[in-house]
Amino acid sequence: MSHLYPADVVMFFAGFAAGALYFAALWWSVRRLAGGKGWQNFILGVLLRLAALVTVLGILLTSDVGPLALLLAAAGFLAARLAAIRICRPAAKDH
């Protein structure tokens, strides 16, 4: 059984930070699209988010981190996704 090292915990929070930035940029792009700012800005946002994600993934894969660190980074990214969904979800109306 593996042990968690401080570097592994850092990988989780790095994945969370990358996910938070990704989903904040997604929110910004969608708001601009919905506000009538044009689909060109939305496509530019998609390309920039994709480039950032591929760059981070490339850095992780070419570095000498183990599979547990990659898994923890992915878990951090997914935790950021869950947080973004929770933050952006409309409040339930009491009946």
Q: How far is CA 91 from CA 24, 26, 94, in A?
A: 19, 20, 9
Domain assignments of the chain as residue spans, ordered by start: 9-84
- What is the helix (H) or strand (E) element at residue 63, kind and residue range? none
Task: Please report the pLDDT score of residue 2 as a whole number.
Answer: 63
Query: How are the residues of the chain apportioned to helix, strand and coil, as percentages rounded to the nearest 5?
Result: 80, 0, 20
Over residues 82-91, the pLDDT tens digits come to 999 998 887 6
Q: Is the pTM of this model over 0.75?
A: yes
Over residues 1-35, the pLDDT tens digits come to 567 778 888 899 999 999 999 999 898 888 888 88
CA angle 45, 50, 52 (to 5 degrees): 95
Interval 59-73 mean pLDDT: 87
